[in-house]
Structure formats: structure tokens, C-alpha cells
Chains A and B, each alone.
Chain A
């Protein structure tokens, strides 16, 4: 996904002179060609996230479309107030592209974990939140939102689904339709959800845009109201969006995501998947539980 990020943004730099990329001292080698080609519009800004977000806002005020790229906790958590006020309140267009969401950087420990990023970004009115599940989906969603004139958060993941879906910003995709519970899932979790739902009559709704949340697709496919949300960040992050979409309907909502506790072990992300109960077998067990409600 990171390679696609470079390819997509090199194209944007070539095609749109409003593009300015600010790298928080990561990805610099990957963008080496862009630095040669567009020395004024791609900057290794350094490790000062708060000022960087404000500088990006200043660039947006001057008509540029800024993009700030760094590791999720340092963009979202450290510079949250700047994102909220400088971009959110002022309704400026720009992009925040992060790596290291949840426990993608498992071995680096808690300072580099960020399961709370999407929840925080949901608290910024007007923020577009995008979690692609495949490099091609990143490309499509970045292209569709690039000149939207609104702020957008793009959460890149270390792991991808095997196949890209034909995604549209703001729309959920119906992956399979049945008469059983509805599984709402997000980005890189789709493959394991498909595996978990094998042989069941569950409906699977695939979300890559989390804000604005596609309430209409959920309403149309909510069936009898049994909803299983499988989300790659803190569990319950999408609960408010789901319950709001189904207001007035009786629902049984079960959320699976990263538990709301500090993860103190290291290892690989797959270790934490198992430790957090987010393997396909865990999802199947929860689905079966919901099937009997």
C-alpha cells in the first residue's frame, strides 16, 4: 500500500500544481524521484507534527492541496488540536496519510500503536475518513477525494486483501447478501471476514469510507437487525454510526475490534490479531453466537 501511495502521489504532483507533500521524515527514500522532479512541492518537513499541520493549513489557505504523511499516533494524536481547529473548523482541504494504525508497528511498542485514530478523527466534523483494504483502493479513493476541498484522513495498512474492490468514496459495497446477520467490516479485515462467513447466510457490507458513513446501504440490508461489526481499530468505533443509521429499528449490535487496553507485548501484528481475538475463527464464533440471538 505504501508503494501505491508513492505512485499515486507522484502522479498527483505531476498533474496538479496545487499538490504539496509534507513528509514527517518518513518515506523520503521512496519519494526520491519526486524530490528531484518537484523540489518546491515535496518537502521533508522534519519531526514537528503540530507546526506541520498548521503549516499545511496555511498552504491550503494559499490555494494548495497539502498532504501530510507520517506515523498515525504522531499525526492524529499529537497534532489533533491543529487538525481539529486549523483544518476542521476552518473547513480547509488537505490530506493526512498515515501508516502504523492500530498495531501495524507491533514490535515498536505502545508509543507506536494507534487503535484510536479513527475514533479521534470521527470527532472532527467534516473530516472524511478512508480506510482502503488494497493498494488499488487507496489509489481510487485518493483520486476521488483529492480536490474535494475538505480534509481527509487516509489510513494505510501493512496488510491488504487479496483482491481490490471497485470502491466509490462514500459508498459501502455489498460483498454477499443473505438472510442472516449483517457483518459490517472495514478495509484490510475483509478477507478474514469472508473466510469467517464461509457457508453462512450472513450479509457482508464492506466499508472503505467511514465518514461520511454510508447509512443508506446499511439501512437497506439491515435485515432483522442483527449486526456484527468487525473493525480494525478500537472496538465500538463505528457503533455510533451504525446505531444512528438504524435509528428507530431494533438491533442487536456486536462489535469486534482492538480491545480498549494498552497492548504491552511486542511481536508481529498477526500475534496481536490472535491475542485480540480477531482471527477468522474468532469472527466465526461471534457470528454463530449472533445467529442464535
Chain B
């Protein structure tokens, strides 16, 4: 029997293939994290996506949109069949997620370094309102080149946003440009609690993403493999922004795990 995640990967690849577009490997890098977040961690209601009591999730690395679309569809925010409209002129599922179009998408992202401070602003707003909801965002390691990420890190610690968690999808795709060095140490020095995990180990992900209380924001350095779950895509830069052509599709699907 194929696992639900393998099934989701297939849907994502098929959607990208139809569109001839998509950052599949970036989506696969975070798919385990998204799966755990939406299966027991984040309070969410597909029937009422703007429920004030929901937890908020912001995909700051918006180019991994296929990942969040797959999970939101799997949870019932919209039909899974809609993935076939990905990046089409008549569809609402764009190459980057749009909060004004897609139910369950909290922020329109795409320009790297915007989502994390927006998520921090949400967390600040929830804190002002003394809400019990929390905010989780995912940034990429390449995105951590952006100064606005570190501006947000300063702000979140200073304003004691214990309701805020930032997961770094550390798949090392940014290493070819700029080495981040001791990323955990950097967040610690900004005043965050930091935990490093295997970003594909569901038990580790679940343990670290449970509500933690307190007034210190939490950074999760998730060591991941870009393209995880499709043998040829794993750590293969050729697949960063590429979709299989129709005649390649079956061969790619055969590599799914």
C-alpha cells in the first residue's frame, strides 16, 4: 500500500507536470513538516478557514507552494483535483501562494524575507489581543540570507513572542551562494530557543512543534533533503525549478518513496 505522503508527492508531481512549472524539490523538502503540522499540531478548520481561534501558518518560502497546496487539499480546504489547475490562467493556485485567493493560505509570499516578519506581526497582534492562537512559519535556508529575516528575529525575541515558531528548512540549497555557518547559534544569539531536528522524522517534528508556552520564540532547524521522496530529485539542483514533461512522468513517479 502506498503511504499517504507518497500519494501526495504523486499528486504534486502530476500537478507540476500538467503546468510545466513548479518547485517540486522545494515542496518535498518540507512535506514531512507540513504533514505533521496539519495532522495534530495546528488548530485549523477547513470549513471555516478564518476561524479566529485557528493557529496561523505562513509559508515564507512561497516557491514551495505545491507543498502547502497538497496538504491543504488533503485536509479538505479545497478539492485535491484542483491541483491540476496549478499555475494555470484560470486557476487560483499560483506559483506562489496568494492569501486573497486560496483558503487556508494566511499570507501572500514569494519575495523572500517577507513571510517571517509578517508572521511575527500576526504573533504580535495575537499577543496584544491575548489570544491563545499561535503562529508557525517556514523559511528556507537561502531565505536566511535576507536581512529582513534577522530583523524579524530581533523583533520576535525583543517582544517576547512565545507564540511564534520559525522552522528553517535547512536543505543546504543556499550553500552554493553563502554558507550560513552555525545557524542554531545565530538564532540563539538573537534570543531564541533553538532545537535541531531531522526534518523528515515525524516523531521529532511532532515533539518540537507542540505548543511550548513561555515568552521566548522558538526556532527549529530542520535538517532536510531537498527533493526528499523522489530519488533523482534528492539534492539534485537540476530539479530546483523544473517539472517533468509528459514523456518523463512515469519514470519520475516510479522513483517515489
* Chain A 38-62 interface 0/1 with B at a Cβ cutoff of 8 Å (1 = within): 0011010110101110111111111
Quick check: A51 and B128 within 8 Å, CB to CB? Answer: no
Selecting from B77-85, B112-120, B167-175, B195-203, the interface stretch reads B112-120
Q: Which of A46, A58, A63, A91 is the one whose CB lies under 8 Å from B119?
A: A58
Nearest B residue to A63, CB-CB: B125
* B181 adjacent to chain A (CB < 8 Å): no
Quick check: B152 and A55 within 8 Å, CB to CB? Answer: yes
- Distance of A61 from chain B, by nearest CB (Å): 6
Q: How many A-B residue pairs have CB under 8 A?
A: 94
- Distance of B96 from chain A, by nearest CB (Å): 10
Most chain B CB neighbours (cut-off 10 Å) among A54, A59, A60:
A54
* A81 adjacent to chain B (CB < 8 Å): yes
Q: Which of A48, A55, A63, A91 is the one whose CB lies under 8 Å from B118?
A: A55
Quick check: A58 and B108 within 8 Å, CB to CB? Answer: no
- Distance of A28 from chain B, by nearest CB (Å): 15
Quick check: A91 and B100 within 8 Å, CB to CB? Answer: yes
Nearest B residue to A55, CB-CB: B121
Quick check: A58 and B117 within 8 Å, CB to CB? Answer: yes
Contacts of B111 in A (CB 8 A): 81, 85
Known: A61-B107, A85-B110. A50 touches B147 (CB 8 A): yes
Quick check: B148 and A58 within 8 Å, CB to CB? Answer: no
Contacts of A51 in B (CB 8 A): 117, 120, 148, 151-152, 155
Quick check: B152 and A61 within 8 Å, CB to CB? Answer: no
* B129 adjacent to chain A (CB < 8 Å): yes
* A64 adjacent to chain B (CB < 8 Å): yes
Quick check: A62 and B118 within 8 Å, CB to CB? Answer: no
* B126 adjacent to chain A (CB < 8 Å): yes
Contacts of B152 in A (CB 8 A): 51, 54-55
Quick check: B108 and A85 within 8 Å, CB to CB? Answer: yes
Contacts of B151 in A (CB 8 A): 48, 50-52
Quick check: A45 and B125 within 8 Å, CB to CB? Answer: no
Known: A50-B148, A61-B107. A82 touches B114 (CB 8 A): yes
- Distance of A27 from chain B, by nearest CB (Å): 19
We find that the number of chain B residues with CB closer than 8 angstroms to chain A is 31
CB proximity to A under 8 Å, residues B1-39: none
Known: A89-B108, A91-B100. A54 touches B125 (CB 8 A): no
Q: Which of B110, B113, B124, B158 is the one whose CB lies under 8 Å from A58?
A: B124
Quick check: B155 and A55 within 8 Å, CB to CB? Answer: yes
CB proximity to A under 8 Å, residues B130-159: 147-148, 151-152, 154-155, 158-159
Nearest B residue to A79, CB-CB: B148
Most chain A CB neighbours (cut-off 10 Å) among B100, B118, B124, B159:
B118
Contacts of A54 in B (CB 8 A): 114-118, 120-121, 148, 152
User: What is the bound-complex CA distance between A63 and B155, given in angstroms?
Assistant: 20
Contacts of A20 in B (CB 8 A): 125, 128
* B72 adjacent to chain A (CB < 8 Å): no
Quick check: B154 and A62 within 8 Å, CB to CB? Answer: no
Q: List 9 A-B contacts (CB under 8 A).
A: A20-B128, A43-B159, A46-B154, A48-B148, A48-B151, A52-B151, A58-B123, A59-B122, A90-B108
Tell me the B residues contacting A by CB distance below 8 Å.
Answer: 99-100, 106-108, 110-111, 113-126, 128-129, 147-148, 151-152, 154-155, 158-159
User: What are the 3 A-B residue pairs with the smallest beta carbon separation, nearest first?
Assistant: A58-B121, A62-B125, A51-B151
Apart from A61-B106, A85-B111, list 12 A-B contacts with CB within 8 A.
Answer: A46-B154, A48-B154, A50-B113, A51-B117, A54-B116, A54-B118, A54-B120, A54-B152, A61-B107, A61-B118, A62-B126, A90-B100
